[in-house]
Every structure is written in C-alpha cells, then in structure tokens.
Structure 1
C-alpha cells in the first residue's frame, strides 16, 4: 500500500501537467479536483453514518476543520497548479521531499514528545541546503519560464503547507479519518472556487486528455489515495509518511523525464539526493522501527 501511495502521488505532478496543457486553468483544476474528491469521499462517509467526532466530549470546531482544509488542499492546490505553469513536474515533485524537513522544527515547537536532537538538526540542515539548490541562484532553470523563480517558491510553499497540515491534524481531537478528509476536500473546494471565478472566469472547454487527467486526479490521486492512506495508518502506523516522501520525488522526476521529456539538470539530482538524505537522517528512528523484523 505504501508503494502504491508513493507511485500514484509521484505521478500526480505529471497528471497536473497534462491537465494544464490540455486547457484547464490552474485554479479551476484545483477546484475541480477537490470537488470530485469530496463527492467520492462523501459517498463513503455517508455509508458510515456521517460520524465525525470519535469522542462526544472532544469535537473539532468548524474553524479547525476549515483551517485544516485550507492548509491541506485549498491553498497548496492553488499554489501547486499555478507553480507548475512555470516549473517542470519533476521540480514540483522534488520540492515535496522538503515536507519532512519543515515538519521536524514545527513538531519540536508544537507537538509534545517530538523534540529535535543533533541527528535531526543535521538532517534539517541537509534538507535546507537541498531546498536552496532547488531555487537558489538560478540553480534550476528547467522550464525556461519567465516567472520560474516564483513558480519554484510556490512549490516550496506547498511543501510548507503540507507540513503545517500534518501538525494541525495531529493536534485535532479524535475524529473519523474519512469524515475529516471529506470535510477537508469540501472546504478546500470552497476556498479555491472564488479564486477560479475571479481570476479565470468561465473555464474553457478542455481537451479529452485534460478531462481524463482531471478525473484521475480527483478520484484516484485525491479521493482513493486518501482512503488508502487511512488504511495504512490503521494497519501500519503513521511511519508510512516517511517512505512516501522518499518515493514521490523519485517517481515525479522519472515519469516527467520519461513521458513528458522534461530535462534533468544536475542541480535537480543533487537537490533530490540532499533532501532525501536529510529526511533519512532525521527520520532514522521511524525507518528502523518500520524495517526491523518483529
């Protein structure tokens, strides 16, 4: 299941590239993807009785739910889709490897029992150098777009949003994961819709390939993979996230180069190696627990 998550989420950036190239504007792509995912997940949640709070005495507030939807999907989907109009899908996927690098210092401050130590600090430092290689001093100019640096920064901001989201979810009271995910997708769609209408107006008629890509992004990459994520957490624990973060950038780079003929600048490879090495060092304990036989 971890392998499927890594491959599908790694191929998501290629799907976004196809949808954007087929005529779907970036903000409408975010809204459509979230609306489809919310509809699919709502069907599953409804079959379970629409329960959200697992403890009647500890209910999440609507402000918490909306904030979680904003940092999990609404804001990052807008930034990612816009960013990918100016960077390659390989860059966007590699930038997601920075998520654990942001998580470690945030967890140190906001989550009990998640303290930084020397090994984790070194890992964060390696990740920071890797992120700098991605955007610093024009190190990566794979797309040649005029606004490429802003697209790069948008992708890095997406990784930061996902890190904030992981901390936010950990601080929520006990909730049904499918119910929470459904509300996250729905609130994300509500957030992106005004941007779509105001900045892009009525969406044009996209190509057939773009529509298939949108459907795949909504049903498979967003709805189905979030359900699979729930199954992994229940059966194997949250350490799955470490392995997914290893796989996503690798698949995004490989698929982008193989199927979309995107360039592979040396700086991208070095950045990928540094970020993933930093993740491995910072998450060594989780990896050891996952692989040591029981």
Structure 2
C-alpha cells in the first residue's frame, strides 16, 4: 500500500535543509578520512546515528508499524537499509580517495535521473511525463555547468576507474532505496529511520572488520568529526529523508541531489575563500529552471495555498 504524494511548503523546506546538509558532507568526509579508513568511517557514522536514533525511538514508545508486517515487508526493509546507507556510505568513502570532488558531485546529481524511470514503473502516481523529464535534464545540465571540466579531470590515481564506479554505484543505491521506501506500508518515520540505520550498522560493521580489520584508535579530532557525521548528515538527515520520501515521493526527494554541488561550491566560497566560478549563476539559473519545470504542479499548488491563507 502506498500513499498519495503530499508536496507542501514543509516538504520544500526539508529538501532544502537536506541539500544544504549533504552539500557540506563531502568536505567533512575528506577531513575524517585523514584519521580513519573508509569502511570504518562509514561504520562509525552509521553506528553512532543508529544508537542515537534507537534511544530517541525507545523514549517515544518504540512503535513501528500500524499493523503487523509480512515477511516481504521485512525483506524490503533489509534491502532499503543496505541500499540507503550501508553500501553507498562505504562506496562513497572509498571512492572519494580516488576521484575528484567534481565527479562525485555529478554522480550525486545523477540520482534524480536514476529515480525517474524506476519511479515511473514501480511507484503509482510518479509518472515520467515529458515536462518532468525535460526539467530534470535541465537541472542536471546546470550541475554539469557548475562543475565544468573538473568532473572529467583525472586524479592520476591507480584506482580512479574503480573509484568512479564506486560513486556511480552509490548513486544507483540511493535511487533504488528511495523507490523501495516509498512502497512500504504505513510506518512511523522515526521508527523506520531507526530500524534502517540498525540494519545498515549490522551490515557495515562486519564488512569493515572483514575488509580493513580492527581499526586503530582514532584521535579525538577524528572522533568528533565522526560524531558530527553521525548526528547531522546521518541521523537527522536520514529522518528527514524518510519523511520526504514517505510524504512527497522519491522523485521529489531526488531534487535534493541537484542542490548538493551548489551548496558545496557556495560553502567553499564562504568558508574556504575559494574563488566564485564564473559559471555559478548560470548553473543556478538552470538548476532552478529545471526544478521549477519538473515540479510545476507542486509549485502551483504551493503558491495557491499560500494565497488562500493570506
């Protein structure tokens, strides 16, 4: 059983917050990788987030489903836990060691293009219309303009090709998990966020042990960075992501991925003093135009609701 899409002003606010949050995550991840290996970085942030969400969920009563789920639902949740956090976090943390940040940004934007055809076939009400497809392509073009040639520059790393495959794989995982999550029956969003993180932790911790062995004791700085990654872009953002997908749908949620490289560039300008690329404003105009075209109906309802409330 699925819900009908409910794209409200709150939904727009949540995807904006998610875009801003995840836009800064690449920078923080680079800092964390200086003090810990990639799989243990994924395990640390997911494990911290899972324990935090578990404490909150239990304090609120620990409710999950309105009705007892069947075996297929639990199977879907295991798949979502793997594809929404465990696998992409490991792939991105490992892949970022071997690719440019520009390539990573483009692959994250491609999540929207992955979700479109999947949602068309597997999510009722998420039809792939010509207007929506053109809008998403315009937005993706804006991301490519923003990043420019950096998306195709070579790092010279011996494992660069494998790193690029890892980033593309992470994007595919996000797209698959969004569609699967939308198809779940009625479920408490806090409970769902918690269970998905617990499932992800159960996958990533053994994987880190097998691939990288026992981790060295990280420094206090690295532990603080991991705690931040677990609290903000993992626990809090995962709850917002679940809420957006469950109420507004996976296609609307994928708009977040167009914002990530924009916020990343803006943070670099403001926080690191990086020069503003001349293509920034053109890229932002294309992204906004693409979002507006692909979500024209939702924007029209939002503005109509705002006028009615005045």
| TM-score normalised by structure 2 residue count | 0.78
RMSD: 3.6
Question: What's the counterpart of residue 183 of structure 1?
Answer: 195
Question: What's the counterpart of residue 22 of structure 2?
Answer: 9
Question: What's the counterpart of residue 205 of structure 2?
Answer: 193
C-alpha contact (below 8 Å) 1:126/1:275 kept by paired residues:
yes
1:118 to 130, 133, 139: 130
CA deviation string 1:109-139 (max 9, x = no partner): 111222222223334555677899999x995
CA distance in 1, matches of 2:262, 2:244: 21
1:230-269 map, 5 Å: 237=248, 241=253, 244-256=256-268
2:217 to 192, 196, 205: 205
Measure how far apart 1:191 and its partner are: 1.1
Indicate whether 1:96 and 2:88 are aligned. Answer: no
Indicate whether 1:66 and 2:78 are aligned. Answer: yes
C-alpha contact (below 8 Å) 1:94/1:250 kept by paired residues:
no
Indicate whether 1:173 and 2:221 are aligned. Answer: no
Q: What 5-or-longer segments of structure 1 have no aligned partner?
A: none
SS of 2:24's partner is helix
Question: What's the counterpart of residue 215 of structure 1?
Answer: 227
| TM-score normalised by structure 1 residue count | 0.81
Question: What's the counterpart of residue 40 of structure 1?
Answer: 52
2:297 to 273, 285, 288: 285
C-alpha contact (below 8 Å) 1:90/1:256 kept by paired residues:
no
Measure how far apart 1:87 and its partner are: 2.5
When residues 251 and 226 of structure 1 are mapped into structure 2, their CA distance, relative to the original with a 3 A threshold, is same
